Structure 1
Amino acid sequence: MPAPKTDLELMRLQARNLFRFDRQGRLVSTNETPPFVAPRLFLGRTATGNVWYLRHDLPPGQARGLASLLEREPPLDEAEVEPDCLAEAIVILARGQPVTAIHRGPAFAFETAPVAGSSTRRLATGEATPFHPQLQEMGWTDPPGDSQQPFFVIEDHGEIVAICHSSRSSPDAAAAGVSTAPDYRQRGLARRVVASWAADVMAGGRSALYSTTWDNAASRAIAAGFRLRFFGEDCHIT
């Protein structure tokens, strides 16, 4: 089991699990295989303080303006209320190039390891098992890689119909990625694979993290069902 952490410690862990950084502590890419370009700004707010990072290639003047703005951002006071700095940060970033994406959502952590879900199976790295056609349409075609472990599935008639894997993984934490074939939703399958995934991650001494967007009701329902600890909000601007 991982050692207990404060909300701010969890948010720092979240950021280091989501992204890769240069030696100056600036964002370079997402922490996944293959990696994607990192957002230009990451702000993680908690009730006890904030963490923020800027991408390595921002112009110096823009970076200084954003740093000054972010240093004044108060801690999270009310969930779902946007950061005070959001509108001005968008204006500053738009001076260099258009803002193309804004992500905001809650970040959760498992405080205790759940009991592994019934009828789940851990898929080995490189193990080829057919995915349900609906999952294939969602992009699931290849066997799991090392970076996606642990990778738990539920099968029906020899096809994978529900998945929980490590969408991001680091020495101290892993983040859950969940996919269920549409025809198999509302059956509790997501909860079962998430439980097995989290139990495995925490048995290895790592923190099991779970994050989503504010408007993803299904994902937030899973978090509520496990009574996960809400530790803050992620905000990414690209």
Structure 2
Amino acid sequence: MRNHLDLMTIQAEVLFVHDRNGRLIGINEPDRQPAPRLFWGQTRTGHVLRFQRDVPDHTIAEIQAIMNRDETPEKLSHVIRTFEKEQPINRIWMGPAYACLTGVTSPTGAILVTEQNQSALEAGFSRLLSELPFRKPCYMVTENDVAVSVCFCARSTDRAAEAGVETLEDYRGRGYAALTVSSWCRAIYESQRIPLYSTSWDNYASMSVAKRLNFTLYGTDISIY
């Protein structure tokens, strides 16, 4: 069983591409979007910090000092103020981080996307279809041979994979996301990797999927851009 700090370290490796010094150089996706200035993964047993490679060393030192001394609710605001000495912050993303740490029994209804049936993605998930080699395994729920909900590898390494979940608006609230996520987790688990699942604090539907599937909440991740 992995401890929470180990899981957060693995998540950082899955989410981002690092240089040889452990600095962030981009998002671990095909289009390699810019990395945040800071990834901060907080767990009950400690934190994981990853800085974008252009962040000045003196800023890193100041933030690390804040982390080591400051256990107050104002810690985040202190970090923000430190970054804003250099340039304004564009946005902040934060939310719970979960893992599926036991095998799951895949419920019926979700279908593995293959070369033979991938055309079902064309209508609602054309971008996913174009990126499918990077996103496998991918599971879908279909209606009338058209995909209406999908779960796929948003980002992955040989140790773990992060779930990406999308459901067409007209088909939300029917439990389809849980079907696809459960099937995807089983496939990742059977490939000897850890299925990871994260979302934002205001995405109640996504958090309800994690609760329904009994995922382990191992921390909170924060990305500051």
**TM-score, with normalisation over the residues of structure 1?**
0.88
**1:180 aligned onto 2:167:** yes
- Once residues 104 and 149 of structure 1 are traced to their aligned partners in structure 2, the CA distance between those partners, rounded to angstroms, is 26
CA distance in 2, matches of 1:102, 1:87: 12
Matched, 1:114 2:104: yes
- 1:228 is matched with 215
Q: 2:61 aligns with which of 56, 64, 75?
A: 64
Alignment-mate amino acid for residue 87 of structure 2: Q
**For the Cα contact (< 8 Å) 1:126–1:145, is it kept in 2?**
no
Q: Return the match for 1:23 from 4, 20, 25.
A: 20
What's 1:79 paired with? Answer: none
How do 1:1-238 residues align onto structure 2 when only pairs under 5 Å count?
Answer: 4-74=1-71, 84-124=74-114, 128-131=118-121, 133=123, 135-136=124-125, 140=127, 142-238=129-225
Q: What's the TM-score, normalizing by structure 2?
A: 0.93
Q: Distance in 1 between matches of 2:127 and 2:147?
A: 10
CA contact (8 A) 1:117 1:191 kept: no
Residue deviations 1:191-226, cap 9 Å, x none? 111111000000011000111111110000001101
CA contact under 8 A between 1:27 and 1:54: conserved in structure 2? yes
Out of 107-116 and 228-237, give the one that drifted further.
107-116
The structural deviation recorded for 1:108 is 0.5
What is the alpha-carbon distance in structure 2 between the residues aligned to residue 62 and residue 110 of structure 1? 35
Q: Which amino acid aligns with 2:170?
A: D
1:96-142 per-position Cα deviation (integer Å, ceiling 9, x unaligned): 22101101110011121211131222113797414375x35xx7463
Contact 1:132 1:161 in 2 (8 A): no
Amino acid in structure 1 at the alignment position of 2:55: L
Distance 1:85 1:57, change over 3 A: same
* Paired AA for residue 106 in structure 2: A
Pairwise CA distance, 1:73: 4.8
CA distance in 1, matches of 2:147, 2:182: 17
Residues 141 and 191 of structure 1: CA distance in aligned 2, closer, same or farther (over 3 Å) = closer
Runs of at least 5 residues in structure 1 that lack an aligned partner in the other structure: 75-81
Taking a change above 3 Å as real, the CA distance of residues 165 and 73 of structure 1, as seen in their structure-2 partners, is farther
* Percent identity between the two aligned chains: 32
In structure 2, distance between residues paired with 1:165 and 1:216: 18
Deviates more, 1:144-153 or 1:123-132: 123-132
Partners of 1:175 and 1:211 within 8 A in 2: yes
Aligned length: 225
Q: CA RMSD in A?
A: 2.0
